[in-house]
A and B are shown apart, each in its own frame.
Chain A
Amino acid sequence: GENVEQHPSTLSVQEGDSAVIKCTYSDSASNYFPWYKQELGKRPQLIIDIRSNVGEKKDQRIAVTLNKTAKHFSLHITETQPEDSAVYFCAGRPDDKLIFGTGTRLQVFP
């Protein structure tokens, strides 16, 4: 079955710097890769997603890149702000189920 690995588990950056979170997946059938943000005590919320027929997608300060050959995808956050502090989860979908990574706790220091 699908296995999604996510790194790093924690990431600390200075406000204004960029943050990059990486995920790898094992099942080449995965064709949809969402990223969720979960603030402390709150629900996971979708922030960006990418389909396997696209290599990159951008939404303001957030971008996701996908390398199907290497089976990895990454979340890029530029000009980080304290409100970006949260746990970020990647996921892959090989069939009708989302398989999540273990999460990355991002801390942005002012």
Chain B
Amino acid sequence: ETGVTQTPRHLVMGMTNKKSLKCEQHLGHNAMYWYKQSAKKPLELMFVYSLEERVENNSVPSRFSPECPNSSHLFLHLHTLQPEDSALYLCASSQDRWGNSNQPQHFGDGTRLSIL
């Protein structure tokens, strides 16, 4: 399944670097999500966009800055990250954020981020 594509797959960066993660979905969905996946922790929802408007920000530090230029693309801009930010960052999309039709979230393969 290639409905949700994330790039890069792996990223190593220093704490002072600036980088961006990219997510693209080809499913015609209207909602997109960023999750953080750390070892032995639940998937943590970071941001939700619905129709290109941010509708959720779960108290994420400002060193993470999302951008949704259109309903098919989602970015996560990173700057001055900390070692504890090392994790797998997963993008997902769904038909709509309410899921009234119970359309499942489709995930990308993630970006494995390592902060030196």
- Which residues does A use to contact B, with CB under 8 Å? 4, 9, 32, 34, 36, 42-46, 49, 51, 89, 93, 96-103
- Which residues does B use to contact A, with CB under 8 Å? 1, 4, 40-43, 45, 48, 56, 90, 97-99, 102, 104-110
Whether the Cβ atoms of A43 and B102 lie closer than 8 Å is no
**Chain B residues touching A, majority SS:** loop
Question: A43: shortest Cβ distance to chain B, in Å?
Answer: 4
Contacts of B97 in A (CB 8 A): 96
Given contacts A43-B110, A49-B104, contact A93 B43 (CB under 8 A): no
Once the chains are docked, how many angstroms separate the CA of A32 from the CA of B97?
Answer: 13
Identify which of A32, A42, A51, A89 contacts B43 (C-beta below 8 A): A89
Whether the Cβ atoms of A97 and B110 lie closer than 8 Å is no
Whether the Cβ atoms of B102 and A4 lie closer than 8 Å is no
Whether the Cβ atoms of A97 and B45 lie closer than 8 Å is yes
Once the chains are docked, how many angstroms separate the CA of A101 from the CA of B41?
Answer: 8
Sample of 5 more A-B contacts, CB < 8 Å, known A32-B102, A46-B104, A96-B97? A43-B4, A43-B107, A93-B99, A96-B48, A102-B40
Once the chains are docked, how many angstroms separate the CA of A83 from the CA of B90?
Answer: 23
Whether the Cβ atoms of B45 and A98 lie closer than 8 Å is yes
Contacts of A102 in B (CB 8 A): 40-42
Contacts of B4 in A (CB 8 A): 43
Contacts of A9 in B (CB 8 A): 40
